[in-house]
Structure 1
Amino acid sequence: MLRTIDLRGTRPTQTELLALVPRAGTDVSGALGTVTGLIEEVREHGEAALLEQAERFDGIRPAAVRVPETELDAALAALAPELRAAIEGTVERVRAASRAQVPEPRETVLAPGAVVRQRWQPVGRVGLYVPGGKAVYPSSVVMNVVPAQVAGVASIALASPAQREHGGRIHPTIAAVARLLGVTEVYAMGGAGAIGAFAYGVPGIALEPVQLVTGPGNVYVAAAKRAVQGVVGIDAEAGPTDILVIADDGADADLVAADLVSQAEHDELAAAVLVTDSAAFGEAVLARVRARADATPHRERVAASIGGAQSALVLVDDLAQAAAFANAFGPEHLEIQTRDDEAVLAGIENAGAIFLGAYSPVSLGDYAAGSNHVLPTGGTARSSAGLSAATFLRPQQIVRYERDALEQVAPVVAALSAEEDLPAHGEAVRARFADDAHGTGR
């Protein structure tokens, strides 16, 4: 059951808060040695290594790594109509919200003839990872593919682990949603090997290297992303999910408990944290968590999560202290269920996604809110943002100065280049104002 961290009567410093926040005992750096070897196997042996790794880690050897389009077509044709309708509705919501994440081009005129334009250029090719493991995640296909498409990415490759239950094919629902979204470059590969294949390419199966890898995964996927960063861009080192709920005694204890349990069912290392200024309310939530945990189909997984070091009931003096604790925790998902949600929200700086009120549960964001559920975990929301259309865009500044405009700032360039002992910088400007007879003028 949730352990208790009692901060009442104290005012911890930021350093002390960071030391107090509950965390799972996972360490991405500890997996780096393992994943580096797996990536090197793929670089050296290509498809053969990916097939061997699938057999080793997924318990099945796919017939081939590249998924045939006929298999994608068949999966889409077999998709249950009600599930297809739910997915299509989610796609439309995510597409609409993602459009708002694409900045408009801007032009700044600094002086006559001195213009700096800002444009947002999409990455040309991306690799999207959809995990397998304890559950099937068609929603993760939507959350990865749709913002990439909205951003204007021209080439999209998708990978998901081979499934023993499906004869070495990727999960048919994953295949169906990929085809529904128009993604036909799909690979049955998982874990560190898949990330390495995206980063370096696999010539034998015509898998070209990508520029950016996105998508959630386990600690080995996170470690592999760290290992290839620099060769390719990554969205984040996503790890086990977490939820932090700030609630006062005006909230419904059973609804708060339901939300904590909903995230705990993802993984034994998932974090479920309640921060409240009411000890009585905290006890009421604990009672409902016990009842719901005992009744849920994944009760063993939930019990491990809420009983782990990463989960806690945190008692605070007031909601301002609750917000300070949340900022130190940096939750992937933050729910605020209080009498004045907006007042609490004003104190929040660090969170992947924020859900306000009793009718905005995290599970809504996982599927149908329109927001993206690929979010920073493990406290990385303190410095990182969730996946969005902007993830797939690169800001580029385009500079155009006319002759007179350059002449106006030439003394600035000369002064700074002289101070930095880079005289050729200044000369590159002065050369443009040499005598026209020498052919270097206007």
Structure 2
Amino acid sequence: MDVRRLDTRRADFDAQLTALLDRAPETSADVTRVVDGIVADIRARGDTALLELTNRFDRRTLNSAAAFEVPKVQWAAAWEAQPADLRAALEAAATRIRAYAERQKLAPFAFTDEFGNTLGQEVRALERVGIYVPGGKAAYPSSVLMNAIPAKVAGVDEIIMAVPAPAGELNAVVLAAAHLAGVDRIFTIGGAQAVAALAYGTATIPPVDKIVGPGNAYVAAAKRAVFGRVGIDSIAGPSEIVVISDGGSDPRWMAMDLFSQAEHGEDSEAILISPDAAFLDRVAAAMAERVTTLPREKIVRTSIGERGALILVRDLAEACALSNRIAPEHLELAVEAPRALIPQIRHAGAIFVGRHTPEAFGDYCAGPNHVLPTSRAARFSNPLGVYEFQKRSSLIECTTDGARPLAQIAGRIADAEGLQAHALSARDRG
């Protein structure tokens, strides 16, 4: 199969890497124009617009916006209808995700300063959040668990799930996962119109405080458009994986680890970095052999051909530096002594340590969240976590005596800024 080979020793390496990593423009003007129109329509006409858009884009024939909501008895029935082994797997994954999330909760604090004043932080959960889940024939119960469970652990009062149902088709496994995760309400709406409805609210859809979850280019553009009215988790890009190997891993494992992200879509990015040229040859051969076994072979071939690479480096230190430059969503350290490399890794959404830790574990059941920064956003962003569903309020409480020194400090700085009301307000306490 076609996969590009790069070598850091070559003079044209930087240009080749830049071409590989160069993404399409942020959001096309056409997508932005369509999304802006949809958002404005939802704001102006509420349920009427939502009903029209859903019927048009999702090929439905609903007569009332009340039909969007899925009764809870349907979720429970979907859960009971799943095979016992799948229910057990979902329960095990949910337990692990919850256990990890419990350790992420922010805590309030308070202390007394040298003047006897109390300073601190209060932590409160968001009141209502919306989670967007792809729908139709797609089945992503893992996304339901990863988005809903941290919100529950944070103490969010109400979780609203939006899932499209093209031609009325709604995946039962997704409903089962919502039942397990503790989602409160489900509406069969999708696309930019769902994001707008969650952000601004309609007579049927309650407005939320934050929207999380993956989606297509229209969903991403809508999340960007409503940011500020509500919070969002991120603007997600295509899936990414970088694997660093010392040449001691099974080439067949490495091939499938790369394919695990390539099968997400034609624009996914899968890169293997190693100082062992012969090993890269063996992985290339394994890729050619194993790709023929995949139901999504065509997608994988396109992804690897356009966004994949096998990169030869001088040593593992250079491999780490190169990975930091890429700042991948997922990073596997498939080496003999992986922990020795961790201090050298500065930018990665999630780090999978050792030969027996494939990225696929993180997607489903390891425990840490699989909603991760993409498109080099790992340089400044975090995985989705409980902290995304909590907010902090600063706490300041001054005593009569403790206010006096602060009055002098604040008053003098306010004078320098030319804000007399601030200065006088402070000095009134002094």
Q: State the Cα distance separating 1:24 from its structure 2 match.
A: 4.2
Preserved contact between residue 6 and residue 13 of structure 2 (Cα < 8 Å)? no
Preserved contact between residue 21 and residue 328 of structure 1 (Cα < 8 Å)? no
Pick from 93, 96, 111 the counterpart of residue 93 of structure 1. 96
The 3-state SS of whatever aligns with 1:432 is coil
Q: Which residue of 2 aligns with 1:143?
A: 146
Preserved contact between residue 163 and residue 171 of structure 1 (Cα < 8 Å)? no
Task: Say if 2:173 is the partner of 1:178.
Answer: no
Distance in 1 (alpha carbons) for counterparts of 2:118 and 2:184 = 42
Q: State the Cα distance separating 1:355 from its structure 2 match.
A: 0.4
Q: Which runs of 4+ in 1 moved over 4 A?
A: 9-13
Q: State the Cα distance separating 1:225 from its structure 2 match.
A: 0.7
Q: State the Cα distance separating 1:45 from its structure 2 match.
A: 3.2
Preserved contact between residue 97 and residue 146 of structure 2 (Cα < 8 Å)? yes
Q: Which residue of 2 aligns with 1:317?
A: 314
- The structure-2 alpha-carbon separation of the partners of 1:112 and 1:221, relative to structure 1 and needing over 3 Å to count, comes to same
Q: Which residue of 2 aligns with 1:409?
A: 406
Preserved contact between residue 24 and residue 271 of structure 1 (Cα < 8 Å)? no
Deviation digits for residues 126-145 of structure 1 (CA, Å, limit 9, x no counterpart)? 00011136731001100011
Pick from 371, 374, 379 the counterpart of residue 374 of structure 1. 371
Preserved contact between residue 161 and residue 190 of structure 1 (Cα < 8 Å)? yes
Gaps of 5+ in 1: 434-442
Preserved contact between residue 164 and residue 170 of structure 2 (Cα < 8 Å)? yes
Distance in 2 (alpha carbons) for counterparts of 1:42 and 1:431 = 49
Q: Which residue of 1 aligns with 2:291?
A: 293
Q: State the Cα distance separating 1:111 from its structure 2 match.
A: 1.6
Preserved contact between residue 9 and residue 317 of structure 1 (Cα < 8 Å)? no
Deviation digits for residues 160-210 of structure 1 (CA, Å, limit 9, x no counterpart)? 11043xxx143111112212233231010111111111101111x1x2211
Task: Say if 2:412 is the partner of 1:429.
Answer: no
Q: Which residue of 2 aligns with 1:8?
A: 9
Pick from 59, 69, 73 the counterpart of residue 72 of structure 2. 69
Distance in 1 (alpha carbons) for counterparts of 2:277 and 2:62 = 53
Q: State the Cα distance separating 1:18 from its structure 2 match.
A: 8.1
Gaps of 5+ in 2: none
- The structure-2 alpha-carbon separation of the partners of 1:265 and 1:190, relative to structure 1 and needing over 3 Å to count, comes to same
Q: Which residue of 2 aligns with 1:35?
A: 35
Q: Which residue of 2 aligns with 1:332?
A: 329
Q: State the Cα distance separating 1:20 from its structure 2 match.
A: 5.3
Preserved contact between residue 6 and residue 315 of structure 1 (Cα < 8 Å)? yes
Aligned residues: 425
Deviation digits for residues 4-56 of structure 1 (CA, Å, limit 9, x no counterpart)? 2321267989xx79835524436335422221122223223333433333343
Q: State the Cα distance separating 1:147 from its structure 2 match.
A: 0.1
Task: Say if 2:212 is the partner of 1:214.
Answer: yes
CA RMSD of superposed structures (Å): 2.1
Distance in 1 (alpha carbons) for counterparts of 2:321 and 2:11 = 13
Pick from 370, 395, 417 the counterpart of residue 398 of structure 1. 395
Distance in 2 (alpha carbons) for counterparts of 1:133 and 1:361 = 28
Distance in 1 (alpha carbons) for counterparts of 2:397 and 2:342 = 42
Preserved contact between residue 52 and residue 61 of structure 1 (Cα < 8 Å)? no
Q: State the Cα distance separating 1:312 from its structure 2 match.
A: 1.7
Deviation digits for residues 394-416 of structure 1 (CA, Å, limit 9, x no counterpart)? 12211111111111222211221
Question: Does 101-110 or 253-262 show the bigger shift?
Answer: 101-110
Q: Which residue of 1 aligns with 2:382?
A: 385
Deviation digits for residues 148-169 of structure 1 (CA, Å, limit 9, x no counterpart)? 00001001100111043xxx14
- The structure-2 alpha-carbon separation of the partners of 1:12 and 1:347, relative to structure 1 and needing over 3 Å to count, comes to farther
Preserved contact between residue 94 and residue 371 of structure 1 (Cα < 8 Å)? yes
Preserved contact between residue 148 and residue 182 of structure 2 (Cα < 8 Å)? no
Q: State the Cα distance separating 1:106 from its structure 2 match.
A: 1.7
Q: State the Cα distance separating 1:352 from its structure 2 match.
A: 0.9
Give the partner amino acid of 1:385: N
The 3-state SS of whatever aligns with 1:227 is helix
Pick from 267, 270, 279 the counterpart of residue 268 of structure 2. 270
Question: Does 171-180 or 223-232 show the bigger shift?
Answer: 171-180
Distance in 2 (alpha carbons) for counterparts of 1:384 and 1:298 = 31
Give the partner amino acid of 2:74: E
Q: Which residue of 2 aligns with 1:128?
A: 131
- The structure-2 alpha-carbon separation of the partners of 1:275 and 1:62, relative to structure 1 and needing over 3 Å to count, comes to farther
Q: Which residue of 2 aligns with 1:199?
A: 199
Q: Which residue of 1 aligns with 2:251?
A: 253
Distance in 1 (alpha carbons) for counterparts of 2:10 and 2:305 = 26
Preserved contact between residue 246 and residue 276 of structure 1 (Cα < 8 Å)? yes
Preserved contact between residue 373 and residue 383 of structure 2 (Cα < 8 Å)? yes
Distance in 1 (alpha carbons) for counterparts of 2:271 and 2:22 = 10
Q: What's the TM-score, normalizing by structure 1? A: 0.91
Q: What's the TM-score, normalizing by structure 2? A: 0.93
The percentage of counterpart residues that share the same residue type is 41
- The structure-2 alpha-carbon separation of the partners of 1:122 and 1:183, relative to structure 1 and needing over 3 Å to count, comes to same
Preserved contact between residue 218 and residue 240 of structure 1 (Cα < 8 Å)? no
